[in-house]
Structure 1
Amino acid sequence: MALRVGRIPFLVCAPFFHDFLGRESEFSDVEFVDGAPSAHCAGLKNGSIHLSPASSITFAQKPDAFVLAPDICTSCSFEVRSVKLFSKMPIEELSHKMVCLTAQSMTSINLLKILLQERFGLEPVYKSGTYESTDDACLLIGDQALEENERHRFAYDYDLGALWQDWQHVPFVFGAWIIAKSALKPDLEQTLFRYLQATRDSVEKFRENPIQALDRWLACYPVDLPRSIVENYYSAIDYRFTDERKSSLSLFFEHAAALGLIEKAPTLEFLY
């Protein structure tokens, strides 16, 4: 049986996956499945994939089924730049206004709801689907958010990573490496540990030579952005799952549970 890995073809995940491109034959026991964070959230929960750098809220939705990789995640130094609320009006005026939500990430959706309700005391009207000109604001993530940054179509934009850190004084964890406990069986466990080490190596190689790594990544997953914007983006992203970030993730789950977005705040459980 192959280890099925959910791969997210967004720039934010390039450090995790660039080094595997063109080397798939060296990992014949690994099957990559491309998709958005929301697709991998569903795949983890229904058992169609074994692990992914998925939306962090996924762990809280079925915690007994998963463990977390203890040392790698997707977080930010302050601004994340690729998870943003774009608005026609100041954020304080969004009560009873229409906010369009991306369907790509439940973590970002829940984070936005927590921020708007608990930090700003707002009650917007939410809709899912494609942004329309009659909507007052929209939440975009990943490459779509980075591309929207360059269009300057909205009077206001708000970085959700910055809003959380300014409020809670800890960096937000948008994605965690979530591992289904089904991958801990004897026929997969060796492959799992080998794959995770190769992922750590991939992140390190990206740090050492981001230009070469991005050349490889963008050849497979091009984006409509100037190369300078792409390269500068990684100054905002941090992939270390520190104790501070683990505490931040638990705090996020507590807020989500308080608003009824998840059943309860789970205890974090790690691979080792």
Structure 2
Amino acid sequence: MVNYINVAPIYEMWKERVLPADWQVVEGQPSRLNILLAEDQIDMGFVSSYAYAARPERYQILADLSISATGPVGSVFLFSRIEPEALDNKLIRLTGQSDTSIRLVKIILEEFYRVRPRYEVGTVCGDGVRLDGVSAVLAIGDDALRLRVEGSYPVQLDLGEVWHRTTGLPFVFSVCAVREPFLAAEPENARAIRRTLVECRQQGALRMAEICDRVARRIPMDCEACSAYLMGIEHDLSPVKCTALERFFQYLIDRGEAPPAALPLKIFQ
């Protein structure tokens, strides 16, 4: 489970349930969960969409679950000192917390804005972080929420909004991927977990005010701002979102960043 508040509408409900003892949850940043899944240390999880695209022969996608947005996502930003059109050959620091967001920002800058910045991966906010010579930073999750509150960058580019404006599609930042060997050995268990996650998602949508009150202090942000943010996060995987995933994966394939086997999508019902 991703350890950001963007999964709180699912995870807070999950934590209230009495679940089988062997349904053990590991929390982590998306990039960390990608590694754990690739190394067979977890069986399924909310991982970067790119993690599936990079190794499609290893996984399937659990139906009707994602971390996505139709328009502004509110927690995946390019924070810049200058306009994006002026970032050609400028240095951008990329968070190492999400493989998907790194690929997305490169697509947006290189394919949509037609600029070719220089990139480095590192820490983008916090005490003691040095950003000498850095024109922009890619931040996600709770880091992005904190930088928005601080307001220290004049240009704040919401990557979900730019993608939607350009393609007309939602963007799926994370899917719930499951290892093929686990599906082969435990298909009914996988179905039961998927069904429980969907039920938690549905219940969380009905208790959003309570959830915001629980998690807003982690940033910190006020409950009204937290509610506005979480209302923009979506956790389904509708047909149009599958189309959006296909568009993103086609970009990755065309850029040599994912194998052709990333398409068609493999969805586990």
SS where residue 263 of structure 2 aligns? Answer: coil
| Equivalent residue number for residue 237 of structure 1 | 233
1:171 aligns with 2:167: no
1:32 aligns with 2:25: yes
Offset from partner CA, 1:169-228 (integer Å, 9 cap, x none): 111111111111122134x33322222111111111111111233445x39x83322222
User: What is the CA–CA distance in structure 1 between the aligned matches of 2:16 and 2:170, rounded to whole Å?
Assistant: 34
Task: Please say if residues 80 and 153 of structure 2, whose CA atoms lie closer than 8 Å, have aligned partners that are also in contact.
Answer: yes
Which of 207, 210, 216 is 1:209 aligned to? 207
Seen in structure 2, the aligned counterparts of structure 1 residues 196 and 215 have a Cα distance that, compared at 3 Å, is farther
**Number of aligned residues:** 262
Q: Which moved more, 1:99-108 or 1:11-20?
A: 11-20
Which of 44, 52, 57 is 1:59 aligned to? 52
| Equivalent residue number for residue 118 of structure 2 | 125
Report the TM-score, using the length of structure 2 for normalisation: 0.92
User: What is the CA–CA distance in structure 1 between the aligned matches of 2:184 and 2:167, rounded to whole Å?
Assistant: 38
Offset from partner CA, 1:23-43 (integer Å, 9 cap, x none): 4x5331211111100011111
Deviation of the 1:267 alpha carbon:
1.5
| Equivalent residue number for residue 127 of structure 2 | none
Q: State how 1:126-165 maps to structure 2 within 5 Å.
A: 126-131=119-124, 132-134=130-132, 135-165=134-164
SS where residue 114 of structure 2 aligns? Answer: coil
1:42 aligns with 2:35: yes
Aligned CA-pair RMSD: 1.6
Q: Which moved more, 1:226-235 or 1:119-128?
A: 226-235
Percent of aligned pairs with the same residue?
26
Q: Which moved more, 1:132-141 or 1:259-268?
A: 259-268
User: What is the CA–CA distance in structure 2 between the aligned matches of 1:179 and 1:199, rounded to whole Å?
Assistant: 13
Which letter does structure 1 place at the counterpart of 2:105? L
Report the TM-score, using the length of structure 1 for normalisation: 0.91
| Equivalent residue number for residue 97 of structure 2 | 104
Deviation of the 1:88 alpha carbon:
0.3
Gaps of 5+ in 2: 125-129
| Equivalent residue number for residue 15 of structure 1 | 9
Q: Which moved more, 1:148-157 or 1:128-137?
A: 128-137
SS where residue 259 of structure 2 aligns? Answer: coil
